[in-house]
Structures are given as C-alpha cells and as structure tokens.
Structure 1
Amino acid sequence: MVEEPGRLERLVEAGKAVIPPLTLLSALLFYFGYVSARSQYEYFGVDVDTIGLGTQDYIMRSPQPLLTPLLVFAAAAAGSIAVHAAIRRRIHPGASARTVARMRRMGRAGQVAGPAVLAGGLLLLSGYPLLRDWRLYGLVTPLLIALGGTLYGSGAAIGRLLRPPPAPSGRASTTLVYLVVAVSAFWMTATVAQWSGRGLAMDRANRLGRLPSVILNTRESLFLRSPGVLETKLPASEGQTFHYRYRNLRLLIHGKDRMFLVPDRWSASNATIIVPLDGSVRVQFQFQNQPP
C-alpha cells in the first residue's frame, strides 16, 4: 500500500514546480557572490551597488567564496552516508540483542544531545542584540543549530531503523529538523562568503602594485589627500582642456560607466576615486615595468 504524502511533502513538491532548481541555483550563486563582493569593496569604502555589476558578474564571483563550504559540506555528507550505511549493516534481522541495544543507546544519545546543542544555538540567537559584535557570532550560532539538528536527526534515523516507520507527523517533524539544518548551513555559508570577500580585499590592499597603473588627467584639481598620489599642474597651452595630472593610481575595478581608482600604496588615509567615463577626464594605462 502506497502511503499518501503529508502536507509538508506536498508543499515541497509545489515549491519545486513554482521555483525550478536551476533558477534556485542561480539565485543562490548570485546571493553569495553579492555578499562576497559587497564585503570586498566595502573595505575600500565603496558601496558595491554603485559599481554597476550585473547578475552574471556576481554569479561568476560566487565560486571562490563557495569553494570551502562546498568541500566541507560534501565531506560531511559523505561521512554521514558512510556512517548511516555502517549502522544499517549492523542492524539486520539476525543482529544480536547486544548490538541492537548499543544502536538504541546511540539513537537515544543523539536525540538527547541534539536538542541540548540546538538549545545552545537558539540561546545565542536570542542574545543577538548583545552578541552581534562578536566576530564569530555568524559562524558559531548557525553551527550549533545545524549540529544540534543533525545529531537529533541522526538519532531519530537510528530509532526508525529499530522500529516500524513513523507516523506522518513524525516524518513532518524530521523534515522540519532538516529544514533548520539547511537554513543554518545557508547562514554559515553567507558568513564564510562575507569573510572571503574581506580576505580578498585585504590581500588586494597588500598587493596594490599588481593592479593596472593609471595616469589620470583632469580639468580641475581634485584636491586629493591620499599619501603617495602625485599631482602635477600641466603647462598651459592653446586648446588644452586638461590642466592637472595624477600619478601613482591603480585601477581597483571598472564599472558600467565609471572607474574606481585607489593609490598604489595602502594607507588608512587613502580614499577611492570615482572617475566617470564621460569625457571629463583622460585616462592612460601604463605598461608594467618589466622588459620583455
């Protein structure tokens, strides 16, 4: 006899029909790429929304921050499958009473330890107003919630192997636990993406000399105060519209209709210069100082 799907299962199937998997994947890649880019350029004082990057740009930036979480989740999933398979092999019709009792204790331990760890994560979650400035908050809190849910789900899975299939309400409860784990994994991944973006920014700030070198000519003085940026007043001549030249600048990123320039050496006093590509400035890119 085929069991009727529960209400939650029907909602999941309806969600698949409304949001195709490919669309969902693209949305996730876009989000994590956006989080990483926002953290990266925020380090240079730039709001990423002012750059004008498109959806494809953010999707192309997502693999770097997602690499470590995907490897960790894949390893965890492989380990879980291996452990589950090993437990299934030990729980068979001819298993000894001692083995069954040991497996039952393992299941109960997971169902007890899981809610305890989950409660710790929820306690941190409720303390957000006080703990939000803790740097590890965005990683430890979802990690505890995911770990607690995983322990409880594993204990419940072992219990199901030792007794008849659960009622629909039991299946719904287990599905909700897995949903909590998925949301926590999403939170952890977003935190890692944010850290990845900040790490990329700091690495780039430490290697500004590798960015394209720019000479900027302007009509008026920009009154730049960033250390190391050299301003030169060009000699007056007939028909000359550009009167100032700036050196020691590097191209941070090229937006849709503007460029973002930074000094070639990091300093806390530095500022990012937004240069519109509308003819009001003249930009030259210098060759690298490396003979062929």
Structure 2
Amino acid sequence: MNEGAGGLGRLGTVVGAIAAPTSLVTALLYYFGYYHAYWFFAYFRVNSTVLGFGTADYLMRSLDALWVPMTVTATAGLLAFWGHDLLRHRLATGMRPPVLRYAIPTLTGLGFLLALGGLWSTFTTTFLNHRLALAPLSLSVGVTLLAYALHLRRTIAANATAPDDHADNQSNPDGHNDDSTAPSDTDDTDSTPNSGSPDTATARPAARPEWAALAEWAVVFVLVGLGLVWAANDYAASVGVTRAQRFVAGLANYPSAVLYSERSLSISAPGVRETRCGGGKAAYGYRYDGLALILQSGNQYVLVPYRWTRADGVALVIPRNDSVRLEFGPPPSSLPGPAQHPAC
C-alpha cells in the first residue's frame, strides 16, 4: 500500500469536508484581486478602499494577477507528474535507475537549503527578498523536494523488503519443495521456523499509522501552499504597479474626458483648464479639460491629468451624481496641432 498516496487522499477528503472548494477558490481570487487593485491605485496615490470595489471587480482583476503564476505552476506540475509516473513504473518492474544513487541525496540537500532560505526570509530580510517572489518560491520548492526525496526513499525501502513471491513460485511451479529441502515428518522441531529470530525471518518495518501520514502531508501542504500564496501575492502587487506604469505611458492615446460640473471644483492640477460656461446660467456652469478617466467604480470617477507624472501628479476622485457629467472625445495625440480647449 502506498502510504503517501493514501495520506494525501485522506487529507483531500478532510480539507474538502471543512472548506468547500468553490468557496476557497473564490476567497483566493478575491485576495489576489484586492492586492492587484490596491497597488495599481497606490501608484496614483489613491487608496483603493475608497472606490467601492465589489466582489466582481476583484475577481476580474485577479485573472490578470494569476495568469502567469497559474500557467507556470500547472506546466511544472504536469512535467513533474509525468516524470514521477515514468520513475514509478521502472521501480515497480524492479529496475532501479543508477541516477537515483545521486539524485536522492542531491534532492535532499538542495531541498533543505531552499526550504531553510525561504523560512529564514519570512523572519528577516535576506538577499532572496530583493527578487520578485524568490523567497516564497524557495520555500515551496524546497519543501516539495524534501517531501519527494523522502517519498523515493520509502518507496525503494518498501520494494527492497517486500517478499519475492513471484520468484518463489517460479523456482517451485507446483508449490512444493523438492526432496532435498523437504522437512522430515519426524523432525518437528527443525521444521518449525522461529518467527522471532532475525536469522530465519526477514525483518520488515512496521507500517506507519494513518494519522502520521495525514499529519505529514498536512504540514507539507500548508508550507507549500503558503509559499505559493506568498509568491502570487508579490506577483499580483508587481502586476498592479506595472499596469499603472503602462497606463501612464499611454495616457496621450486615451480618450479625453471633459468634466462638467454645476459648481466650481477648484481643480488646479497641471494641464487642467477650468472654463466657466453660459455666464453662470448653464445647467453645468463649469467645464474641465485635460483629463483622462482611469475607471468608474461604484459611485466614484477616478481621473488623472494628461500631464500626470509620478513626481507631482495628482489623481481626482469625483463622486458620481447628477451634479457632474462626463463627455468623451478624441485623445490629444489624434488632434492636429496643439490641443484646443473649445468654449462651452
């Protein structure tokens, strides 16, 4: 019996009974979407919690944050499963590849170093913390290598101590001993094997209790899972910042958002022009040009000036109500000559 597979299957049953898979996946997607949004708007110095994002908003953003990590993890996992299946088949047929003599100690040593580096990086700053997702991946990969090396050792040990019934049946097809080895009917003492003697019986290690295998896989699952969540969290934050930088780099190509307001909003951002409309008699008495809309979420508009810079740029969070309206036009880059600010 494969204790590792049995313990892993039992652990999956226990986890499934405690937390529904759909709820767990939704919670993780919400978490990564939250950090993606947080760091995207933090680049513009806006706290994303004031924008009223809903669950659907965070779930949509999580796809952008998890696309690369999920693709890489799935590909690596598939290759690992195929390689393990090939190795398992060779071990089952009695063939032990010579490379295992060096592979198991190598996996053990490398896994120990990686796991130690990842754990150390959780409590203090190391060189691993200065590279994107390197510290959490070190933890996850290190624990995985240690667990797999131990699994290989147990599999080889189990194959070595298993009784070779197949060889016994081939040597004696009829299931009987020949005359030269048959016990004498009168020699009862010599024909009775001494089961307690190591010289007459093969010593086999006692099977581990189920709770030990379950606890071991639970610890491995927690450490590897936390490392992957940590890595995905760092990547989500990096993607959020990168998307904000790309937005700023392409501002000149975004449609212009002309903001009309019933009252003066006293916007003094660089490149934003205020124009008074209709001598104070128009429904919307003030117009603001030179803005681009980042998004509308809940009851908020988030706009930035076309001349936004990281050094001194400001972002505008305008309540969405009947006192303001937006009018969209072509981006400044598509207009011939200098940008014009028409009257109301």
| TM over 0.5, shorter chain | yes
Query: What is aligned with 2:149?
Result: 155
Q: Following superposition, which runs of at least 4 residues in structure 1 exceed 6 angstroms of deviation?
A: 5-11
99, 109, 113: which one aligns with 2:110 = 113
Q: How is 1:1-292 mapped onto 2 (pairs within 5 angstroms)?
A: 13-95=13-95, 99=97, 102-128=99-125, 135-136=130-131, 139-164=133-158, 167-168=208-209, 169-170=212-213, 172-237=215-280, 239-240=281-282, 242-267=284-309, 268-287=311-330
Partners of 2:289 and 2:130 in 1: CA distance:
38
Say which SS state the counterpart of residue 215 (structure 1) adopts.
strand
Could you tell me which runs of 5 or more consecutive residues in structure 1 were left unpaired when the two chains were aligned: none
TM-score where L is the length of structure 2: 0.72
Amino acid at match of 1:49: T
How far off its partner does 1:159 sit?
1.0
Which string of whole-angstrom CA distances, capped at 9 and with x for unpartnered residues, describes residues 107-143 of structure 1? 2332233122211222222214x889x542x612111
Q: Percent of counterpart pairs with the same letter? A: 29
Structure number, greater radius of gyration = 2
AA of the residue aligned to 2:249 = N
Q: 1:171 to 1:107 in 2, by over 3 A?
A: farther
Q: 1:30 to 1:260 in 2, by over 3 A?
A: same
What is the rounded CA distance, in whole Å, between the counterparts of 1:287 and 1:256 in structure 2?
25
Following the alignment from structure 1 to structure 2, what is the Cα–Cα distance between the partners of residues 189 and 182? Answer: 10
Evaluate the alpha carbon distance shift between residue 228 and residue 75 of structure 1 in structure 2; reply closer, same or farther with a 3 A threshold: same
- Cα–Cα, structure 1 residues 131 and 102, in superposed 2: closer, same or farther, change >3 Å? closer
> 2-side partners of 1:53 and 1:211: how far apart?
23
Q: 1:275 to 1:184 in 2, by over 3 A?
A: same
Moved more, 64-73 or 162-171: 162-171
- Asked whether the equivalents of residues 8 and 217 of structure 2 are also in contact (C-alpha less than 8 Å), the reply is no
Q: 1:59 to 1:71 in 2, by over 3 A?
A: same
Query: Aligned partner of 1:108: which letter?
Result: P
Post-superposition shift, 1:94? Answer: 3.4
Contact 1:259 1:277 in 2 (8 A): yes
CA RMSD across the alignment? 3.0
Worse-matched range after superposition: 164-173 or 201-210: 164-173
Count of aligned pairs between the two proteins:
283
The aligned amino acid for 2:33 is G
Q: Do the aligned partners of residues 131 and 148 (structure 1) sit closer, same or farther apart at CA in structure 2, a change above 3 Å counting?
A: closer
User: CA shift at 1:185, angstroms?
Assistant: 0.8
Instruction: Flag structure 2 segments of 5+ consecutive residues without an equivalent.
Output: 160-206, 336-344
Partners of 1:279 and 1:269 lie apart in 2 by 30
Name the CA distance, whole Å, in 1 between partners of 2:292 and 2:99.
65
Give the SS at the match of 2:318: strand
Letter in 2 for 1:82: W
Distance 1:246 1:64 in 2: 33
